[in-house]
Amino acid sequence: MPQTDARRTEAAPRARLRRWTELRTAASHTRLRWWTELPLLVMVYASYSAGRLLARGDTDDAVEHGLGILRVEKALHLNAEHPLNRLFTREAWLGVPADFWYASLHYLVTPAILIWLFRSRAVRYRAARTWLMTSTLIGLIGFTLMPTCPPRLLSAGHGFVDTMAQYSSYGWWGGEASAPRGLGGMTNQYAAMPSLHVGWSLWCGVMLWRYGRTPVVRLAGIAYPLLTTIVVMGTANHYFLDAAAGAAVMGIGLLLTPYVMRLADRVRGLLGARIPWVAGASHGARSSIVSGGCQTSAGERIPRQRESRTGPEAEPGASPKDAGEGATAAAR
């Protein structure tokens, strides 16, 4: 009996090692690869950009929607756009940086945080990416159903000044939009409702706050969406309700994310059953290599397990079939 107890004690670490190895192997099989992620993100963004262009809508309808938003805000006593726009128009030291903020950070910070999550928070990356993509597609639906004229494109009688046009000589953008000069016609200037500048910045803020390791990073997670909201109103690119709708879209996208991920897993499983390379691309090729320089043979779960079970200390009559049985085989 003492010999049996000793063997059980020795089997416990082996069982833990086997479990750890299985978990590591499972994690490696579900690890996302950059060469599959990059085309996916490019495809989604290209579809989003093309959808914005196709969802231009009628100009008269867009203007009416913009004026309707102003009427609702007036009824609710919400009028942050006018004082901010007057301030940015009067003070170039505020207006010029705000225009640079609007024209650039939206396209720089979001991809940078995606890359950061992919490299250092891989376990959380897929859910974060799915949340962003789902919310973006919901925003595209909003652009299609409700084309909205931004404040800067309303007639001068409504009291707004287009700071992008006023300070265009300081940057690369033209007077038509935040796009480079001459490319304004390739953008949908009536895609104001909801504001995905605010929506994406909110997503970035949540990621920085939740996964940032220092107080400075977490503070940036709070400041970035707040400053972006001020910028989009001060530059007369969005109404306050546009910003609120952008935040609401992100909330809806967050609620839908688990369902979208389950649907994606189901589709991947169906495709993987019919197209072998789909399963290989999403889960990685299975390999018998467990760690550097160590390989498993058939019937083994950890390296050299067969040797340890059939060596001098093995029970008489032990066979390779017993390899991997752990404590159960030792107790017989």
For the chain, what is the mean pLDDT? 75
Q: Is 151 in the same domain as 298?
A: no
Q: Is 273 in the same domain as 295?
A: no
47 inside domain: yes
The structure tokens listed for 197 are: 């500048």
Residue type, 30: T
- pLDDT for residue 256 is more than 90: yes
Are 213 and 162 contacting, i.e. CB atoms less than 8 angstroms apart?
Answer: no
Q: What is the pLDDT of residue 89?
A: 95
100 inside domain: yes
Q: What is the pLDDT of residues 36-72, one digit of tens each?
A: 666 666 666 666 666 656 655 578 888 999 999 999 9
- The number of distinct structural domains making up the chain is 2
Mean pLDDT of 28-34: 52
Q: What is the pLDDT of residue 269?
A: 79
Nearest-angstrom CA–CA distance, 224 and 13: 48
- pLDDT for residue 305 is more than 60: no
141 inside domain: yes
276 inside domain: yes
Question: Domain range spanning residue 328?
Answer: 288-332
* Number of C-beta neighbours around residue 152 at 10 A: 22
Q: Is 274 in the same domain as 302?
A: no
Q: Is 86 in the same domain as 204?
A: yes
The rounded radius of gyration (Å) of the Cα atoms in the chain is 29
User: Would you say the C-alpha torsion 276, 277, 279, 280 has a positive or negative sign?
Assistant: positive
The structure tokens listed for 152 are: 């800067």
Q: Is 45 in the same domain as 146?
A: yes
Q: What is the pLDDT of residue 268?
A: 77
Are 56 and 177 contacting, i.e. CB atoms less than 8 angstroms apart?
Answer: no
The structure tokens listed for 273 are: 């059953």
17 inside domain: no
Are 171 and 100 contacting, i.e. CB atoms less than 8 angstroms apart?
Answer: yes
182 inside domain: no
Q: Is 306 in the same domain as 255?
A: no
Cα-Cα end-to-end distance for the chain = 11
Q: Is 130 in the same domain as 239?
A: yes
Nearest-angstrom CA–CA distance, 194 and 31: 34
More confident residue, 2 or 234: 234
Reduce the secondary structure of the chain to three states and give it as a string: CHHHHHHHHHHHHHHHHHHHHHHHHHHHHCCCCHHHHHHHHHHHHHHHHHHHHHCCCCHHHHHHHHHHHHHHHHHCCCCCHHHHHHHHHHCHHHHHHHHHHHHHHHHHHHHHHHHHHHHHCHHHHHHHHHHHHHHHHHHHHHHHHCCECCHHHCCHHHCCCCHHHHCHHHCCECCCCCCECCCHHHCCCCECCCCHHHHHHHHHHHHHHHHCCCHHHHHHHHHHHHHHHHHHHHCCCCCHHHHHHHHHHHHHHHHHHHHHHHHHHHHHHHHHHHCHHHHHHHHCCCCCEEECCEECCCCCCCCCHHHHHHCCCCCCCCCHHHCCCCHHHHHC
The structure tokens listed for 238 are: 């969005």
Q: What is the pLDDT of residue 209?
A: 94
Q: Is 297 in the same domain as 264?
A: no
More confident residue, 326 or 120: 120
Looking at the DSSP bridge assignments, the partners of residue 294 are 291
Q: What is the pLDDT of residue 145?
A: 86
Q: Band the pLDDT of 299: cuts 50, 70, 90.
A: very low
217 inside domain: yes
Q: Is 209 in the same domain as 320?
A: no
Mean pLDDT of 184-202: 83
Are 164 and 211 contacting, i.e. CB atoms less than 8 angstroms apart?
Answer: no
- pLDDT for residue 290 is more than 50: no
Q: What is the pLDDT of residue 319?
A: 44
Among the candidates 243, 262, 280, a domain finishes at 280
Nearest-angstrom CA–CA distance, 332 and 327: 9
Q: Is 195 in the same domain as 262?
A: yes
Q: Is 199 in the same domain as 322?
A: no
Task: Report the predicted TM-score, pTM, of the whole model to 2 decimal places.
Answer: 0.70
234 inside domain: yes
Q: Is 246 in the same domain as 294?
A: no
